Amino acid sequence: MDRIVVKGNGALSGDIPISGAKNACLTLMPATLLSEEPLTLTNAPRLSDIRTMTALLQSLGCEVTSLQDGKVLTMSSHDINNHKADYDIVRKMRASILVLGPMLARDGHAVVSLPGGCAIGARPVDLHLKALEAMGAELDLRDGYVHAKAIGGRLQGAEFTFPLVSVGATENALLAAVLAKGTTVLKNSAREPEIVDLANCLIKMGAQIEGAATGTITIQGVDSLHGATHPVVTDRIELGTYMLAPAIAGGEVELLGGQRELVGAFADKLEEAEIEVTQTNRGLKVKRKNGRVRAVDVVTEPFPGFPTDLQAQMMALMCTAEGTSVLEEKIFENRFMHAPELMRMGANIDVHGGHATVTGVDKLKGAPVMATDLRASVSLILAGLAAEGETVVSRVYHLDRGYEHVVRKLSGVGAHIERLQEGD
């Protein structure tokens, strides 16, 4: 298995281009199932998760063509011939469940494997299913699969209130409601930029949607949708991750394509920690205000709150901050697995339930550490940028799911980082 080796190398400087968002692309790609005409996505990220979604759509009979080194995806579901999303693909990536809503909306039936467990939490899909049932889907959970049928052959508009905010369930319901008969109102829906990006793309395809950024989404179902071309929104989690590089290692870095509104609560927290964040016409410029980072408390929440997908990376910064910080993880029940790895590097962290208390130390020390999930893996790389000596991160396949060209992007601003292939 590949490993990534990082040596603390002092202050960073230069530019890092930010890619299209994994979590937007994963919900945009299934939209191709909603029209017979081609859907083209530009600014697509080149990631293993995108390749998994491509394989899933192809297994249903979609054509997916990757152009410009994978940055442009043209998809057509004109001739789909299979309505079963197989466990062998779904088990690799939970977002596969996002083909359920559009397949049901398109042809009135679908069979989709249940995703199963995940390192960061139980992550049930009950809200996805409840929202579709409210639109007239008949669901039968059997042999690890959801067997779904639209009563009367077509989904019906409905009002549904999510008991808790779910990004995925909102996306599945939105993808289903655009072709349902009548009006759907989704209350307490997620407001993430990826949801807004999905709604904008669907509107380009002819859908009638209002309120995607508000928490109450109203969809007027239509009989059919047409093709479109849509640029994938900037990846706010990749953006936030690289904003932390100059914060943790020193220096100044400009994140090309960064927009503050994508990372509002996070940028506010960085400023509270004595990190300067400046919007430029090229992106976001980040540097420490005066040499030392101040400890701050963090609570993860749905957008526009502090994103859970930046909690691990923020913990890495707090490891060398001045003072003690408390990070509260409110979205997932098991998302502190990076803490023991950071402690192997000399961090002082005490985890109790959904809270982690981090007491800043002067210096971290490089060590062999293990990635446990996508965001945990990059938090270890960030910690390595500020550590004395060498940090060797193993199981980096986690990283490949959500970060393209990490080594190239960080070494481009002066980091001492390399990837060792198996056997090197």
3-state helix, strand, coil in the chain (%, to 5): 35, 30, 35
Query: Of 144 and 153, which has the nearer Cβ to ligand EPZ?
Result: 144
Q: Which range touches ligand EPZ (CB under 6 A), out of 59-67, 120-128, 181-189, 248-256?
A: 120-128
Residue 118 is among the residues annotated as catalytic for this protein: yes
**Span 322-361, contacts to ligand EPZ by CB under 6 A:** 331-332
* Interface pick for ligand EPZ out of 127, 275, 312, 345 (rule CB under 6 A): 127
Count of residues near ligand EPZ by CB under 6 A: 24
Query: Please, which residues bridge with residue 203 across strands?
Result: none
**SS3 sequence, 342-386?**
HHHCCCEEEEECCEEEEECCCCEECCEEECCCHHHHHHHHHHHHC
Q: Which range touches ligand EPZ (CB under 6 A), out of 84-92, 100-108, 146-154, 162-170?
A: 162-170
9 vs 11: CA distance, rounded Å: 7
Q: Which range touches ligand EPZ (CB under 6 A), out of 38-46, 59-67, 165-173, 314-322?
A: 165-173
Q: Which range touches ligand EPZ (CB under 6 A), out of 125-133, 196-204, 215-223, 350-358?
A: 125-133
Query: Of 8 and 193, which has the nearer Cβ to ligand EPZ?
Result: 193
Half-sphere exposure of 322 (CA within 13 A, CB side): 10
How many other CB atoms are found less than 10 A from the CB of residue 117?
A: 11
Q: What are phi and psi of 346, to 5 degrees?
A: 95, 10
Closest-by-Cβ residue to ligand EPZ is: 168
307 vs 299: CA distance, rounded Å: 9
Q: Which of 48, 41, 45, 42 has its CA nearest to residue 21?
A: 45
Query: Of 3 and 191, which has the nearer Cβ to ligand EPZ?
Result: 191
DSSP assigned state of 270: H
**Span 167-196, contacts to ligand EPZ by CB under 6 A:** 167-169
Q: Is 313 in the site for ligand EPZ (CB under 6 A)?
A: no
Interface with ligand EPZ by CB under 6 A: which residues?
Answer: 23, 26, 94-95, 121-128, 164, 166-169, 308-309, 331-332, 374-375, 402
